[in-house]
Amino acid sequence: MADTNHDLAVIGNGSIASLISSEGTHLWCCWPRLDGDPVFHGLLNTDETAGRFSVRLDGQVSATQRYLPNTAIVETILRDAQGNALRIVDICPRFKLYGRIFRPLMLVRRLEPMGLPRIKIVLHPGFTYGEHHPRPTMGSNHLNYAGPEFSLRLTTDLPLTHIVHESSFTLSRAGTLVLSADEPLDQAPETLFNQMFSETQTYWQNWVADLNIPFDWQEAVIRSAITLKLCCYDDTGGVVAALTTSLPEAPGSGRCWDYRFCWLRDSFFTIAALNRLSATRTMENFLGFVLDIVQSTAGGEIPPLYPIAPGMSEDEWFAPHLPGYNGDGPVRIGNAAATQRQNDAYGAIILSLAQLFVDQRLTVRGDAALYERLCPLGEMAARVALEPDAGIWEFRGRRAVHSFSAVMCWAAVSRLGLIAKAIGRDDEAADWTARANHLRDEIMSRIVTPGGWLSGVLDDEVCDASVLILPEIGFIQADSKEFLATLDMVEERLMVGGFVLRYEAPDDFGPPETAFLLCSFWYASALALAGRREKARELFERILAIRNHVGLLSEDWAPAGPDRPGQLWGNFPQTYSQVGLILCAMRLSRSWEDGLWRAS
């Protein structure tokens, strides 16, 4: 039976990542990098075998799945009616070796029998976005799958003929399956598994041990932190918005986008989450990615998104050989939003890189030369702040002067004042600050509606959840009468089924159908800032309750209706959702002093 939901676990190592169904099938894995060709693409293919790597238990009656505590190692247990069971352990090796992180292009599966289960191994990788599905060629202890640009090799100590012919056999002893580049292994599969498992488990446990986490909701924050780490591409420091493309935001909506890119607006929130977690090295790598964008900019406007590394085009096209999630397409490769004008990018860059001027933990620090590189971006922000753009929601059919974009431009100018002061340029700091104050007054005069709440578009009355973050960047106080009125507006007009929509007006594809989970996190955080903590905690707990079976979130949620249960939708796992969970938990949690040290 085809897997058609978001009950997925993720393994990865900073080079590649793979999404595994609750029954142990690899359904999505891009190779040889996070934005590469999906050798497993079962999420977007209605064929029940193509683009999948499954181990099936004859007569299966149940399946359970979990992460091993504080790791990115997945355990799946399948059971049959006779009391036999199969334990599957999936790892993507990552650990320190020779003074650096070892992150090979490799997926390792361990199959362990409990009783005498009969199993069938089905491995059908594909290439060129589902166009080619080669038959394997057999070697002495391996199978080779040759694609147009690269090949995959499966090395195993299990019977190759059963795999080639997809025939069931009795698993009487443990076996290992290693999928890697087309190179021979230098050790036996079982020996390799034992080493990779032990080293990878130790790496993740040590990484988690170094995190700063809140007292409450520790498990949820740890899982989101690991998942955020899995969305980071180590080679450049870039962070993808999600590991997938074209999982629709709502059924039949056509809202299918490629999220395997790095959006600049995500950078500020991602860096904030990593900073709160004390994941300093990961944060520094991402700051390096943003810094490289600034250093390579030759003037002019900055696009809103970038590939995580050279070699991936932003040009948008449809993949003709992939019908889509449950046949619900189209499947888009690339993202045309890269050509849009989104004026918030300048604020996102400067807000992010301001960390370099104040954080003494970092090995690369901001200096006068970097400040001077940022000044033209500040000038550009001041110039475009009140000009129309596509906005944070990337409308394809209209432009407006969006409040979020205008305020992020204000933030660019305001933070340059703080940066100038930090490096001792007091006169320039005063100038930037005066310009920021003038811009803020202009925005405020045009953003407040006759009803007293903050509009998503200047000189209009537009209900938009993006104004919820204005206190987060210092534009307005959370207890101001305008912001309190905005909180009431959101509850009255954007809250559906207990979750928050992005906006209420129809867009290029019609009225919004699903709640955007990040907006619900924004709302909970804003409620807390405004002193409505009990209401904020209730909403936060409601969001936690809809995480999938291993604690992960996608982008969107369709609340339950009279004839349907609630369901996760959108690309997966969504970085923004993980970041929102982390930041919201940090704000709402009791302190360690209150929760433990001074508890009575």
Residue range 20-34: mean pLDDT, rounded: 98
> Does an H or E element contain 18, and which?
strand 17-21
Instruction: For the beta carbon of residue 120, count every other beta carbon within 10 angstroms.
Output: 16
Question: How long is the chain?
Answer: 600
Confidence of residue 4 (pLDDT cuts 50, 70, 90): low
Q: Are 388 and 399 in contact (CB under 8 A)?
A: yes
Distance CA 504, CA 494 (A): 6
What is the value of pTM for the model shown?
A: 0.96
pLDDT value of position 401: 98
Residue listed under structure tokens 């995580």: 308
Tell me the per-residue pLDDT of 463-478, one tens digit each, with 9 for 90 and over. 999 999 999 999 999 9
Confidence of residue 447 (pLDDT cuts 50, 70, 90): very high
Q: Two tokens at 237?
A: 């420091």
Tell me the per-residue pLDDT of 517-553, one tens digit each, with 9 for 90 and over. 999 999 999 999 999 999 999 999 999 999 999 999 9
pLDDT at 44 over 90: yes
Q: Are 516 and 555 in contact (CB under 8 A)?
A: yes
State which amino acid sits at residue 129.
Y
pLDDT value of position 296: 85
Distance CA 198, CA 5 (A): 31
Tell me the sheet residues that pair with 56: 120
Distance CA 527, CA 196 (A): 45
According to DSSP H, which parts of 184-328 are helical? 189-209, 218-230, 264-277, 280-296
Tell me the sheet residues that pair with 342: none
Distance CA 123, CA 346 (A): 46
Tell me the per-residue pLDDT of 50-71, one tens digit each, with 9 for 90 and over. 999 999 999 999 999 999 999 9
pLDDT at 190 over 50: yes
Tell me the sheet residues that pair with 52: 124
Average pLDDT over all residues of the chain: 95
Tell me the per-residue pLDDT of 102-159, one tens digit each, with 9 for 90 and over. 999 999 999 999 999 999 999 999 999 999 999 999 998 999 999 999 999 999 999 9
Tell me the per-residue pLDDT of 457-466, one tens digit each, with 9 for 90 and over. 999 999 999 9
Tell me the sheet residues that pair with 561: 564
Tell me the per-residue pLDDT of 65-106, one tens digit each, with 9 for 90 and over. 999 999 999 999 999 999 999 999 999 999 999 999 999 999
Residue range 188-210: mean pLDDT, rounded: 97
Residue range 443-451: mean pLDDT, rounded: 98
Cα-based torsion angle of the residue sequence 213, 218, 222, 225 in order, rounded to the nearest 10 degrees: -60
pLDDT value of position 193: 98
Using DSSP, state whether 155 is helix, strand or coil: strand
Distance CA 144, CA 135 (A): 9
pLDDT at 575 over 60: yes
Residue range 402-430: mean pLDDT, rounded: 97
Torsion sign, CA atoms 514, 517, 519, 523: positive
Residue range 289-305: mean pLDDT, rounded: 86
pLDDT at 3 over 70: no
DSSP output for 520-556: HHHHHHHHHHTT-HHHHHHHHHHHHTTS-TTS---SE
Q: CB neighbours of 198 closer than 8 A, spacing ≥ 6?
A: none
Query: Which domains are seen in the chain, by residue range?
Result: 8-208 (2.70.98), 210-597 (1.50.10.10)
pLDDT at 1 over 50: no
